[in-house]
Amino acid sequence: MIVPPGSTIGIIGGGQLGRMMALAAARLGYRCHIFDPHEAPCAAEVSAEFTRGAFDDEAALARFADACDVVTYEFENVPVGPIAALGDKLRPGTRSLEIAQDRAVEKRFLEGAGARVAAWREVGSVEQLDAAVAALGVPLVLKSRRLGYDGKGQAWVRDPAEARSAWDSIGNAPAVAEAGVAFEAEFSVLIARTHDGQTRAFPPPRNVHSDGILCHSTVPAGQPIEAMAETAIATAATLADALDHVGMFTVEFFACADGALVNEIAPRVHNSGHWTIEGAVTSQFEQHVRAICGLALGSADLVADGAVMDNLIGGDVDAWAAILAAPDASLHLYHKGEARPGRKMGHVTRLK
């Protein structure tokens, strides 16, 4: 199971998560090979090799895998069928993808594993939409079952009369309806799991979102999150075990008056863990490399009293010079081209 330094790690997806993963892998002596359909993905700039190919091109994926010693992925919206052919080289496996790609499947998995989730219903027709509103009441949120991220494919229903227009706004796509949750804060558990079931979790960060996009992550998270941390970490470990997951695994939670509710899972490194690059002994990216290569997991302890990570979204990146001039700021720019509204262009971390 050990993939030694000097080997090649294949990364499916060439975005900023793949970029930071490749940088962490290089520090440990690995070469990275990016597979992505775009002409110049930002992860390819810092990797040894790049193959341009469609995520559903099985022949191209097979050639890519032949050139790699282990293969992983940086995001979950890749077709399961084609990459299933990668077999044992793929870590994590496809089960984690299958669950995370479909919100209804994910909800059933979470409930089956004993996790607490908000009340929900499937919506695939007008009749099911009306039944969901009747059962859950308002407010509720409609989320497309597939391909939603950073608030995309979501619409709130605050009055029953808004339900059909809300569904129209997400293209009448198969969806889940979730009851609105009264929560005090949002947080995430980022946990690494090895092939033999060892786990190590980072201190949970408190997360703040705007328009569905993560803006800030802070550790320590403060109350009430810290009081829920032990149980939330245990829940994340249970979910990772149920998937036989290998690598980093992220669970997003709502901190509610009666305890933590699981919002969703991400079978990968995560934006809310970017602070670990400067703020923890081992970053989430290095931890993922360690796990998929069969190496010992590193320490997840803080290196300072705490850390704050701010995303640079859209035009926020224009402040790069001022951020660089600040003595307490660690700046990461992703070199993704045009700074469109809502696009994550970089992040900055400050230690406490």
CB atoms inside a 10 Å sphere around CB 272: 29
Q: Where are the domains of the chain?
A: 8-90, 119-179, 185-351
Over residues 131-183, the pLDDT tens digits come to: 999 999 999 999 999 976 666 789 999 999 999 999 999 999 999 999 999 99
Q: Which CATH architecture has domain 185-351?
A: 2-Layer Sandwich (3.30)
Q: Which CATH architecture has domain 8-90?
A: 3-Layer(aba) Sandwich (3.40)
**CB neighbours of 130 closer than 8 A, spacing ≥ 6?**
163
> What gap in Å lies between CA 157 and CA 123, rounded to an integer?
13
Q: Which helix (H) or strand (E) holds 60?
A: helix 58-66
Give the pLDDT score at 261. 98
CA dihedral 22, 312, 218, 206 (to 10 degrees): -100
Q: Residue 112 pLDDT > 80, yes or no?
A: yes
CB atoms inside a 10 Å sphere around CB 104: 18
Q: Residue 1: which pLDDT band, with cuts at 50, 70 and 90? A: confident
> What gap in Å lies between CA 189 and CA 202, rounded to an integer?
7
Give the pLDDT score at 77. 87
Over residues 235-272, the pLDDT tens digits come to: 999 999 999 999 999 999 999 999 999 999 999 999 99
Average pLDDT value over all residues in the chain: 96
> What gap in Å lies between CA 325 and CA 323, rounded to an integer?
5
User: How much is the average pLDDT of 317-328?
Assistant: 97
Percent of the chain surpassing pLDDT 90: 95
> What gap in Å lies between CA 92 and CA 72, rounded to an integer?
6
Indicate the fold that domain 119-179 takes in CATH: Dna Ligase; domain 1 (3.30.1490)
